[in-house]
A and B are shown apart, each in its own frame.
Chain A
């Protein structure tokens, strides 16, 4: 921070010319020692045990590209190319399981490698070294931030896309038997999806003239108050349409959560697994046609 403050007043035309010439000198230095510094960097990456999902050849070619981009940014001051490259790189390495800390780690390593080479080069002239570092540090930090942000943004984009596709996964409503529907729920239930699901279910109840609906939540990993209330609402809405709902596939963990959350499930029929749910459903539809009385007392 203090460095930044002292640098500000100096930003006259002359100082910025100085600054540019320093950067030019810096870039020339980095270009000249490209091979050596690049190898040094790869070495440090391997030593730090980063990027070990990639082969040494891959690391070397990526490293070359990043290095050249890095030097370009120092030269032109424009991060756009680097940004595009970082996005592209992230797109390639995220599916292979490269973490944020690795990406930040390698960029910071490069910064260190370059800074150290600057130290070594300008050791005799501390004044010049300071000026070079003044020019180098903000640019290097900016590059590190750019790469990090690009990586995180790319990652967030992937996550958003995946959420979208989960949401778009249609929830099929299947007719198993006359007047008996199954609704298997898989994945994350949020408010939007729960609503869509309820609408779909009610539409299917009307279209298939369903009497009993089995809602199977084996594929729902976790459940919270909101989701539980959605389920309660779905069941209540189905009942208003004249259909009884049976919830199946409550894992012991979910059952415990529901009890801990104090969700009122007294009006819901719950059965451990889908098989049991179907048996109960058949009992309900079966008894219904002969003697409702048994079914009604069973249902409770």
Chain B
């Protein structure tokens, strides 16, 4: 599978390396839900920098990954959306809400670090 899943402290980092098939996206969701519980992760970072396109299926899958992870106790941050991908998503009216987005891993980790004192009680 073209997704590397790394563990960094309390966080899981899923780095997507290339375009995924629909089946792979679904498998990734199950895999992440499983691992979030296994590692007792409090945050999940999905790196989509390698994706040239984020279509409605991927957007919905990201949302569903986030919701699944939330049920298992982890907040999800999407990082690395490229400018032209962002423009295209907005034009096609694709929204990642309620997901958080960050520019890069640093931003995501800062965001997740900041969330902990509030214990996830302030979902947007």
A interface residues, Cβ below 8 angstroms from B: 195, 198-199, 202-203, 205-206, 209-211, 233-234, 236-243, 288-293, 295-297, 299-300
- A195 vs B118: C-alpha distance when bound (angstroms): 37
Is there contact, CB below 8 Å, between B114 and A290? yes
- A211 vs B83: C-alpha distance when bound (angstroms): 15
Complex interface bits, B72-84 against A, C-beta within 8 A gives 1, otherwise 0: 0000001101111
- A198 vs B84: C-alpha distance when bound (angstroms): 10
- A25 vs B104: C-alpha distance when bound (angstroms): 85
A199-B83, A233-B90 known; A209 and B117 CB under 8 Å? no
Answer yes or no: B26 CB below 8 A from chain A CBs: no
Inter-chain contact count A-B, CB under 8 Å?
86
List, sorted by A's number, 10 A–B pairs whose CB atoms are closer than 8 Å: A199-B84, A237-B87, A241-B101, A242-B102, A242-B104, A289-B110, A291-B114, A291-B118, A292-B113, A292-B122
B77 smallest CB distance to A (angstroms):
8
Given contacts A195-B87, A240-B101, 7 further A-B contacts (CB under 8 A): A198-B87, A209-B107, A233-B90, A237-B87, A242-B102, A242-B108, A289-B114
A59 smallest CB distance to B (angstroms):
55
Answer yes or no: B55 CB below 8 A from chain A CBs: no
B84, B86, B110, B114: which contacts A293 (Cβ < 8 A)? B114
Residue of A nearest to B119 (CB): A293
Main secondary structure of the interface of B (DSSP, over half): helix
Residue of B nearest to A206 (CB): B83
Number of B interface residues in the complex (CB < 8 A)? 32
B15 smallest CB distance to A (angstroms):
16
Is there contact, CB below 8 Å, between B86 and A209? no
Is there contact, CB below 8 Å, between A239 and B83? no
Chain B CB within 10 Å, residue with most, of A203, A238, A239: A239
A210, A239, A293, A300: which contacts B118 (Cβ < 8 A)? A293
Hey, which chain B residues are within 8 Å of A206, CB to CB?
A: 82-83, 103
A289-B114, A292-B111 known; A241 and B90 CB under 8 Å? no
A177 smallest CB distance to B (angstroms):
16
Hey, which chain B residues are within 8 Å of A239, CB to CB?
A: 101
Hey, which chain A residues are within 8 Å of B87, CB to CB?
A: 195, 198-199, 202, 237
A206-B103, A240-B96 known; A293 and B90 CB under 8 Å? no
Answer yes or no: B115 CB below 8 A from chain A CBs: yes
Residue of B nearest to A208 (CB): B103
- A236 vs B103: C-alpha distance when bound (angstroms): 14
